[in-house]
Amino acid sequence: MSECKVVDARNTFCPGPLMELIRHMKKASVGDMFELLSTDDGSSNDVPEWVHKAKHEMVSSEKVAGVWHIRVRKAR
Amino acid sequence: MRILIVGGGTGGTILGNQLARRLAREIRAGEVRLTLLSASDRHMYQPGLLYVAFGQMTPDELYRDEASLLEPTIDFQVDPVTEFHLDRNQVTTQSGKTHDYDILVIATGSRIVPQEVAGLSEGAEMFYTEEDAIRMHRRLLEFRGGTVAMVVSIPHKCPVAPVEAAFLLHDFFKARGIRDKVKLRYHYPVNQVHATPNVARWAKPEFDKAGIEYETLFNLKEVDPANKIIYSEEGTDVKYDLLIAIPPHSGAETVDENNLGQGGWIPTDRFKLTMNGHDNVYVIGDATDIPVSKTGSAAHFEAEVVVENIASMIKTGTPVREYDGRVYCFIEAGYDRATYNAFDYVNLPELKPPSKAIHWFKVAYNQMYWTTVRGLL
């Protein structure tokens, strides 16, 4: 199991958390795990929607002290 | 004190000029030496390429000699850095020279890497180099009708460029009287027409009004230039007659070759703008990995912060400012209307309705840029 890479996209609006996550995942290997940190509530919907469509794997999603911690694994 | 700036684009040039003025006394007294190393003796106004692609500017309007933009106290050399030895505060250049520094500023920008997507270079028109922008304009003029597909790869500089290009395509074909023969299809990587929610909320009804069709969650995987089909990572495909692409970008080759950061983006403290683990190395502009837009305006605002901090460190021993994530971008909404996007780490962008006045201010800024890079505006 490879380590979890944190993508810190807190307090960013452009290009935004999902774009940051996709950017990192494009360069990753299958099996790599990412934890996206986002203060944008929209991420809790946007990220799972993209993960589902792109056929990756949602690992977990929780909001802690105003920050979304969304874990995703690259599946293909 | 030896200050070395690597990169003569927007960020490096503004920073050099402002620093030369802030430290004029120290430079005159021989206490500070300011050197700028660049890969080119010319400076390009990169946003102008979009206008070249639509026949609204000619390439010669986009260039100035870099030396003519710089304060004479800056030691300017056209000699790109090939090796960074951060452990011994030293760089080596293409000509074989070695430069020692006390403070290093890396402002090496970004570059397009269309080769990362199979078939993209062969199948698409782009506007990120002079040659490509001229060719795209020719292709647009030759186009008689059919499906024009726009695809957006990430990461890319100037996040509003895809939206601007879509509106300009609409107006271009309308002005030629063939808009009814052109189907405009816009494809975007996330689940709205722009990554920034407020821009997306504004652009979506404007697209609807202009008859621009869109498909979101479309991350370009491959182009088949022979059969004129684009394929997405998400499993969809679209046929096109003319493909306009925002190609993926990467950091500078030298950053990649020196393993300074994954994908050529240098790990940077988003507030101090220092390279992680190197307090005497600053990174500005597209070269950073901080999650803000890769635009000239971010490079500009970052340069101002680094100037103040370097000057203050030299004069008082203490830094004075942090970068607040400030970005300001004009957004062309067609041939004669524009709006703008201004935000920072805390404040969301709020778009004003597009107006002719903002468009004309943008046209004026295309010339005012040269005072900006001189560090005057």
**Domain count for chain A:** 1
pLDDT score, position B138: 98
What is the pLDDT confidence band of residue B198, given thresholds at 50, 70 and 90? confident
Give which of B191, B199, B202, B236 to mutate to test A binding, by max A Cβ within 10 Å.
B191
**Per-residue three-class SS string for chain B:** CEEEEECCCHHHHHHHHHHHHHCHHHHHCCCCEEEEEECCCEEECCCHHHHHHCCCCCHHHHEEEHHHHCCCCCEEEECCEEEEEHHHCEEEECCCCEEECCEEEECCCEEECHHHCECHHHHCECCCCHHHHHHHHHHHHHCCCEEEEEEECCCCCCCCHHHHHHHHHHHHHHHCCCHHHEEEEEECCCCCCCCCHHHHHHHHHHHHHHCCEEECCCCEEEEECCCCEEEECCCCEEECCEEEEECCEEECHHHHHCCCCHHHCECECCCCCEECCEEEEEECHHHECCCCCCCHHHHHHHHHHHHHHHHHHHHHCCCCCCCCCCEEEEEECCCCCEEEEEECCCCCCCCCCCEHHHHHHHHHHHHHHHHHHCCCC
Are A27 and B154 within 8 A, CB to CB?
A: no
Q: Which of A61-70, B189-198, B246-255, B358-367 has the lowest mean pLDDT?
A: B189-198
Summarised one tens digit per residue, pLDDT across range B323-363 is: 999 999 999 999 999 999 899 998 888 888 999 999 999 99
Q: Which fold has domain B2-109+252-327?
A: FAD/NAD(P)-binding domain (3.50.50)
CATH number at residue A25: 3.30.110.40
Q: Residue A40's domain spans which residues?
A: 4-73
Give which of A3, A8, A10, A13 to mutate to test B binding, by max B Cβ within 10 Å.
A13
Asked if A53 has any chain B CB less than 8 Å from its own CB, the reply is yes
Give A30 to chain B, closest Cα distance, Å: 14
Domain with residues B115-244, CATH architecture: 3-Layer(bba) Sandwich (3.50)
ipTM score above 0.85 = no
Are A11 and B327 within 8 A, CB to CB?
A: no
Are A14 and B341 within 8 A, CB to CB?
A: yes
pTM for the model stands at: 0.93
Give B242 to chain A, closest Cα distance, Å: 26
pLDDT score, position B19: 98
Q: What percent of chain B has pLDDT over 90?
A: 93
pLDDT score, position B121: 97
Considering only CB atoms, B234 lies closest to which of A8, A18, A54, namely A54
CATH 3.50.50.60 residue ranges in chain B? 2-109+252-327, 115-244
Which one is catalytic: A1, A14, A64, A65?
A14
Q: Which of A13-22, A59-68, B163-172, B290-299 has the lowest mean pLDDT?
A: A13-22
Does position A14 have pLDDT exceeding 80, yes or no?
no
